[in-house]
Amino acid sequence: MQVLVVGGGGREHALCWAIAVSPLLGKLYCAPGNPGISSIAECVAIGAEDIAGIVAFAVEKRIDLVVAGPEAPLTLGLADACAAAGIKCFGPSQAAARLEGSKVFTREVAEAAGVPGAKWQRFDDPAKARAYVRAEGAPIVVKADGLAAGKGVVVASTVEEAEAAIADIMESRIHGEAGATVLIEECLVGEEISFFALCDGETALPLGAAQDHKRVGDGDTGPNTGGMGAYSPPPALTPALQAQVMAEIVQPTLEEMSRRGTPFKGVLFAGLMLTEAGPKLIEFNVRFGDPECQALLLRLRSDLLPALFASCDGGLDMFDLNWDATHSLVVVMAAEGYPGSPRKGTEIKGLEAAAEVPGVQVFHAGTARRDDGALVANGGRVLAVAGTGKTLQEARDAAYAAVDAIDWPGGFCRRDIGWRAL
């Protein structure tokens, strides 16, 4: 089998790492990849959003499966373009990828499917949005409808804060057209987890969950990021709760997407709040989380590749994936300045020493090779240092031992990943 992974971050490094050990694999390519990925796959200089370029390459190399890492190529129609060229693609069609592209669409699907979630209303008129916020009171959540690079959500603790968010999003259009419509939601309280299921349009196979750390600073302080660390499994997700999430959230959503003529294939990522009244949906994404993917795949014992094929072809009902009884914990190392303007070009040393720590994998995210061969920072989130262990504490100790072996004065990380569970 020839496989092409699309993307070049830590999530794609972990996907390549898991696919590379499959006995079914012939050759692995990654577009565009990164220096870490280049040690296990042939990296090709095609951007993850260059749909025509990816499809042309896949046709030329007779690729058996294209695996989409990030959401952007999927929302641009990568899976549809692959299908038109007779190539299989792991990931949903453009129509099904709207589950990530539009929050209003997600809430409409969830409501039609009877999926539990926050009480919500949509508004195209800022005056009506303000009146609603005043009537409901705080805390309350204001969200831009469209994609806003993960920054379109304001959890407002006062009515004034919510009104300011309405002005910023709808009137000043700080997220552009993504803010033409807003959703105003009830504020849910509880533990937040990222839950994943492989889907073939009809059947869903649970992959379990991870807990992300969205804020940049220790103790969950400072601005939101793409994720500064994750661990798996989250202790809050009991087997009974997982069965409830599958029955009340994942399966009804698949059925509703099929009813609409846009069956969902790929990985469904449900952001959930575990409230006192049970699990409630916050959002869907149509791809693996980053760094949740790294945490999950470290615990997978089964061959991932056949399950990715089954997600395209159907037959996931015949699968039963095996997971290690171990724990995993991922620490993201970011370049100074992230999530604002990260400093590029600072040199990173000591990765060999880090990789020698037992139970550790170092995934590259935003790295590059300088002309002289040195490894340098080339993005916001630069490395994802992942540890495994028999307990979460052991996984954490391994990950931080590896972090401490890395010599990178231009980078930083949170020192408290996993604190909620420890």
Tokens coding 115: 């999926």
Q: Is 376 in the site for ligand AMP (CB under 6 A)?
A: no
Stretch that binds ligand AMP, among 44-52, 181-189, 258-266, 392-400 (CB under 6 A): 181-189
Which amino acid, residue 176? G
Instruction: Report the distance separating Cα 51 and Cα 54, nearest Å.
Output: 5
Of 220 and 394, CB closest to ligand AMP? 220
Q: What phi and psi values does residue 223 have, to the nearest 5 degrees?
A: -70, 160
Tell me the one-letter amino acid at 25.
L
Choose the one of ligand GLY, ligand AMP, none that binds residue 155, judging by a C-beta under 5 to 8 angstroms depending on kind. Answer: ligand AMP
51 binding ligand AMP? (CB under 6 A)? no
Residue 289 binds which entry of ligand GLY, ligand AMP, none, CB below 5-8 Å type-dependent: ligand GLY
- From the list 272, 383, 268, the residue with the least C-alpha distance to 14 is 383
Q: Please say whether the beta carbons of 421 and 361 come within 8 A.
A: no
List residues bridging with 196 in a β-sheet: 208, 269
Nearest CA among 335, 306, 224, 303 for reference residue 271: 224
The continuous run of DSSP H or E covering 361 comes out as: strand 360-364
Size of the site for ligand AMP (CB under 6 A): 14
Q: Min. distance of Cβ 71 from ligand AMP in angstroms?
A: 12
Q: 323 and 223 in contact (C-beta within 8 Å)?
A: no
User: In angstroms, what is the minimal distance from the CB of 140 to ligand GLY?
Assistant: 23
Among the listed ranges 184-192, 297-305, 337-345, 397-405, the one in contact with ligand AMP (CB under 6 A) is: 184-192
Q: Which residues bind ligand GLY (CB under 6 A)?
A: 212, 226-227, 285, 289-290, 292
- Should residue 185 be labelled a site residue for ligand AMP when binding is judged by CB under 6 A? yes
Pick the stretch among 183-191, 235-243, 356-364, 397-405 that binds ligand AMP (CB under 6 A).
183-191
- What tokens were used for 282? 């916050």
- Interacting span for ligand AMP (CB under 6 A) from 148-156, 258-266, 294-302, 310-318: 148-156
If the CB atoms of residues 56 and 155 are measured against ligand AMP, the closer one turns out to be 155
Residue 421, interface with ligand AMP (CB under 6 A)? no
Closer residue to ligand AMP in complex, CB, 64/71: 71
User: Residue 200 or residue 212: which is nearer to ligand GLY going by CB?
Assistant: 212
- Nearest approach in angstroms of CB 107 to ligand AMP is 10
Instruction: Work out which of 42, 49, 283, 416 binds ligand AMP, going by CB under 6 A.
Output: 283
Rounded to a whole number of angstroms, the minimum distance from the CB of residue 214 to ligand AMP is 6
Residues 202-231 that bind ligand AMP (CB under 6 A): 214
Please check whether residue 270 is in contact with residue 284, taking contact to mean a CB–CB distance below 8 angstroms: yes
Cα angle: 395, vertex 302, 268; to 5 degrees: 85
CA distance 33 to 5: 8
As measured in angstroms, the least distance from the Cβ of 289 to ligand GLY is 3
Q: Structure tokens of 20?
A: 């590379």
CA distances in angstroms from 269 to 249, 251, 273, 288, listed in the order given: 11, 13, 13, 6
- State the residue number with the nearest CB to ligand GLY: 227
Q: For the CB of residue 194, give the shortest distance to ligand GLY in the complex, in Å.
A: 6
The answer to whether residues 21 and 298 touch, using CB atoms and an 8 Å cutoff, is no
Q: Who contacts 126 (Cβ-Cβ below 8 Å, separation ≥6)?
A: 166, 167, 170, 171
Is residue 68 at the binding interface for ligand AMP, with CB under 6 A as the rule? no
109 sits near ligand AMP (criterion: CB under 6 A): no
Separation between Cα atoms, residue 9 and residue 116, nearest integer Å: 32
Q: Which of 20, 112, 187, 246 binds ligand AMP (CB under 6 A)?
A: 187
Residues 6+ apart with CB under 8 A from 152: 143, 144, 146, 169, 175, 178, 179
CB of residue 386 vs ligand AMP: minimum separation in angstroms?
21
For ligand AMP, the binding residues (CB under 6 A) are 118, 141, 150, 153, 155, 185-188, 192, 214, 271, 282-283
